[in-house]
């Protein structure tokens, strides 16, 4: 079977779905290919902090109604260390805020918009291969329901994540990779209990990092620093709540507990692949970069990529102007590296680091972290830097 479109989008995560929606607003045809089922992509629990740019993109494509109804506006966040809480006031420092709205809900909204428009969304596809990316006639071959299809296109957008096929289609000698795997992870839980704080709490503790977050007024999302290969079987509900209570402790704080409905271990990685374009293949989101989740940037960085890509493709199709496409990788990477820096800094600042220096080495690291946390929470300039990065850097 042969099909034709202008842009073939690999991956129906936030990046691929948002790109498809942005292109549709610009009258550019696309087909989205996804290996997983609709049930899977709409229930995959991921990030939940939206920058203003992500909120604006959802509104632009007509997918923001539920987000505004159920999303929680946060005008600040809390850094907790030494048993004391220190609030970083985003609104006062930057004039901006963030919104708590789960990624899987955002995906549901984008899927609904695409299906309502009758735009092609091919789910549960197999054996996806890319061809002709160094020519002006690229194509994507895939199988669905036992039938093979060749999708001819002008461009291929690789939005298929870290383990997808898109980045692997770029010749190894044309790709430069930068990466760091952290020696710890996050044990994350969802719990049917009202959040114990109206804003996120980032807790530095000698036993390890903890984060109090939420998905709604009745559902809490919490994390504990753990070993990268942590055995979940060793963590009973009682042990999880007990450890969270210790790490999140403060004089004015009481941790509410409830039924734990999900638990998982999230690895921590910093990763960037350069360039983000090769021929007629462009990468976006996790296919090109991964950030540790400490700064809540992965989803937002992916949306920023496709906002830039949609502008570039619009200029190409509307005016025959390829300048933005030619500069896509450089423009994205300038922002990507700043976000990588912030995410790595937050990770370094808040986690326990057991290096080769033994207890003395850990004690030194611990004291340096406390000194920096004290500086960030007592200096207007330092607090502003954190707030500016957290609410979202400019698109360019």
- Positions marked catalytic: 74, 202, 293, 297, 390
Secondary element (H or E) of residue 263: strand 260-274
CA 272/CA 370 separation, integer angstroms:
29
Taking the C-alpha atoms of residue 210 and residue 366, their distance in angstroms, rounded to an integer, is 15
Return all residues near 363 (Cβ < 8 A) that are at least 6 apart. none
State the Cα–Cα distance between residues 362 and 364, nearest whole angstrom: 5
Angle (CA) 245-247-249 rounded to 5° is 60
Name the nearest CA neighbour of 328 among 276, 267, 376: 276
Cβ–Cβ contacts within 10 Å for residue 321, how many?
13
Across 68-218, the runs of DSSP E, i.e. the strands, are 72-74, 76-81, 84-89, 98-100, 121-122, 126-131, 139-144, 147-152, 155-158, 176-191, 201-203, 210-216
**Contacts of residue 223, Cβ cutoff 8 Å, sequence gap at least 6:** 186, 187, 188, 189, 209, 210, 211, 213, 266
SS3 273: strand
For 127: left if phi > 0, alpha if psi spans -120 to 50, otherwise beta; the answer is: left
Tell how far CA 146 is from the center of its chain: 33
Asked if 48 and 103 count as a contact pair (C-beta separation under 8 A), the reply is yes
In sequence order, the 6+-apart residues with CB closer than 8 A to the CB of 330 are 275
């Amino acid at each position: 079977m042969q099909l034709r479109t202008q842009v073939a989008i690999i991956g129906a995560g936030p990046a691929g779905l948002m790109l498809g929606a942005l292109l549709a607003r610009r009258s550019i045809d696309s087909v989205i290919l996804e290996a997983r089922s609709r049930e899977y992509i709409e229930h995959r629990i991921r990030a939940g902090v939206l920058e203003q740019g992500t909120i604006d993109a959802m509104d632009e494509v007509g997918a923001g109604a539920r987000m505004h109804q159920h999303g929680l506006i946060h005008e600040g966040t809390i850094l907790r260390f030494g048993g004391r809480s220190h609030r970083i006031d985003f609104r006062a420092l930057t004039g901006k805020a963030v919104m708590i709205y789960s990624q899987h809900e955002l995906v549901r909204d984008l899927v609904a918009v695409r299906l309502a428009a009758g735009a092609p969304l091919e789910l549960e596809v197999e054996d996806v291969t890319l061809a002709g990316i160094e020519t002006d006639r690229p194509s994507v071959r895939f199988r669905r329901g036992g039938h093979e299809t060749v999708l001819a296109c002008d461009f291929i957008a690789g939005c298929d994540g870290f383990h997808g096929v898109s980045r692997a289609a770029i010749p190894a000698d044309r790709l430069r990779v930068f990466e760091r795997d952290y020696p710890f992870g996050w044990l994350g839980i969802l719990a049917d209990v009202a959040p114990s704080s109206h804003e996120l709490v980032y807790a530095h503790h000698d036993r390890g990092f903890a984060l109090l977050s939420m998905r709604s007024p009745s559902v809490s999302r919490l994390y504990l620093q753990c070993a990268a290969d942590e055995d979940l079987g060793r963590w009973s509900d009682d042990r999880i709540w007990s450890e969270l209570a210790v790490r999140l402790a403060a004089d004015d704080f009481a941790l509410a507990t409830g039924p734990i409905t999900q638990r998982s271990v999230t690895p921590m990685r910093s990763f960037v692949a350069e360039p983000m374009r090769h021929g007629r293949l462009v990468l976006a989101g996790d296919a090109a970069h991964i950030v540790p989740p400490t700064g809540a940037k992965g989803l937002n960085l992916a949306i920023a990529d496709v906002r830039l890509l949609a502008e570039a493709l619009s200029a190409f199709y509307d005016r025959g102007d390829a300048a933005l496409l030619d500069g896509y990788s450089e423009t994205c990477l300038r922002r990507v590296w700043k976000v990588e820096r912030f995410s790595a800094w937050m990770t370094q600042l808040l986690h326990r680091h057991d290096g080769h220096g033994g207890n003395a080495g850990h004690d030194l690291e611990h004291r340096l972290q406390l000194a920096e946390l004290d500086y960030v929470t007592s200096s207007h300039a330092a607090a502003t830097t954190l707030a500016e990065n957290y609410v979202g850097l400019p698109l360019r």
